[in-house]
Amino acid sequence: MKKIDQNNLPRHIAIIMDGNGRWAEKHTLGRISGHRQGAKSVKLTVKVCRELGIQYLTLYAFSVENWLRPREEVDALMELLKEYLHSEIKKLMKHDIRLMVIGNIGILKEPVRILLSEAMEKTAHNRGMVLNLALSYGGRDEIVEAVRSIAEDSRVGKIRPRNITKELFSKYLYTAEIPDPDLLIRTSGEYRLSNFLLWQTAYTELYFTDVLWPDFRRKHLMEAIYDFQRRERRFGLTSDQLQRGGSDLG
Ligand code: IPE
Ligand code: IPE
Ligand code: MG
């Protein structure tokens, strides 16, 4: 297996966990079995990221658009989330992992919301890694909500329009406390963002794999990190400038 460089790990990995339905179809099972199997990949990925020393792992678990799926599927996904929180909280504590959530949490049903807040509260002081779940998440909604809050703060005189910068704007997003992802992985051979972290991925390295999420294993994650480590992140500069350490930049 290819060896990854421990000194050049992505600080923040974000994953669009896609392909549960197709995995189920391939195995002539119902879609919900696919999600159940996908939950196993979640557990494994959290474990491997923690072992590697990744600081932030964001998992796209449920989009705002996903609310429009058949009722039984939505209910099953919420049940799985509850099961996950129940069964994993001990492990999160043991491995010093802090749980955070981004998305429109207010529209989740109360039992899920309660479990989430309990888990967030309980793990709030853990420092080993942040596991950030994107739930009922939509990138455009996030941006619109930020704009609304900024407009309101501006109306009441808390901020002035001329002080609205990229940095200030970022503070109004769900991800205020989280750095932008360095690496974004999408499984299942789809090449789109599907409304995920639209602002935050401006300079993220994108990695696509045909592997379906329930089949995603340690080796696939290693492959993605290995690929990431072979890229040159230029942020608009020339290769030459980067090699000179950006010392001539004003
Ligand atoms: C991803 O798998 C999980 C969620 C979106 C909740 P899908 O359910 O989208 O699987 P496919 O894309 O239908 O295969
Ligand atoms: C994106 O997957 C959302 C999650 C993985 C939670 P979808 O399966 O919902 O995205 P589309 O519909 O293929 O764009
Ligand atoms: Mg899908």
Q: What is the pLDDT of residues 25-42, one digit of tens each?
A: 999 999 999 999 999 999
Ligand closest to Cα of 194 equals 2
| Domain 9-138+180-243 indexed as CATH 3.40.50.10110 | no
Count of C-beta atoms within a 10 Å radius of residue 3: 8
Kindly report the protein residue whose alpha carbon is nearest to atom 6 of ligand 1. 62
Ligand 1 site, CB within 6 A: 17-22, 62, 66, 77, 188
Whether the predicted pLDDT of 1 surpasses 90 = no
Say which of 8, 66, 75, 132 is annotated catalytic: 66
How far is Cα 227 from Cα 238, in angstroms, rounded to an integer? 21
What pTM value is reported for the model?
Answer: 0.97
What is residue 147's predicted lDDT score, i.e. its pLDDT?
A: 98
pLDDT > 60? residue 214: yes
Asked if 7 is an active-site residue, the reply is: no
Distance, in Å, from the CA atom of 45 to the CA atom of 91, rounded to the nearest integer, reads 13
Contacts 24+ apart (CB under 8 A), 25-34: 26/212, 31/73, 32/72, 32/73, 32/76, 34/214
**pLDDT score, position 226:** 98
The confidence score (pLDDT) of residue 110 equals 97
The model's confidence at residue 106, banded by pLDDT at 50, 70 and 90, is very high
Q: Does 66 qualify as catalytic in the annotation?
A: yes
Which tens digit of pLDDT belongs to each residue from 166-198?
999 999 999 999 999 999 999 999 999 999 999
Residue 221, token pair as written in the block:
């994650």
Closest Cα to atom 14, ligand 2: which residue?
Answer: 194
Q: Is the pLDDT of residue 246 over 80?
A: no
pLDDT at 250 exceeding the cut of 60: no
> What residue ranges do the domains of the chain occupy?
9-138+180-243
- In ligand 1, the atom with minimum distance to the C-alpha of 63 is 5
Instruction: Identify the weakest region by mean pLDDT among 95-99, 100-104, 246-250.
Output: 246-250
pLDDT tens by residue, 36-73? 999 999 999 999 999 999 999 999 999 999 999 999 99
* pLDDT value at 2 more than 90: no
Q: How far apart are CA 104 and CA 144, in angstroms?
A: 12
Please give the distance of CA 217 from its chain centroid, rounded to a whole number: 17
Percent of the chain with pLDDT over 90: 96
Tell me which ligand sits closest to the C-alpha of residue 62.
2
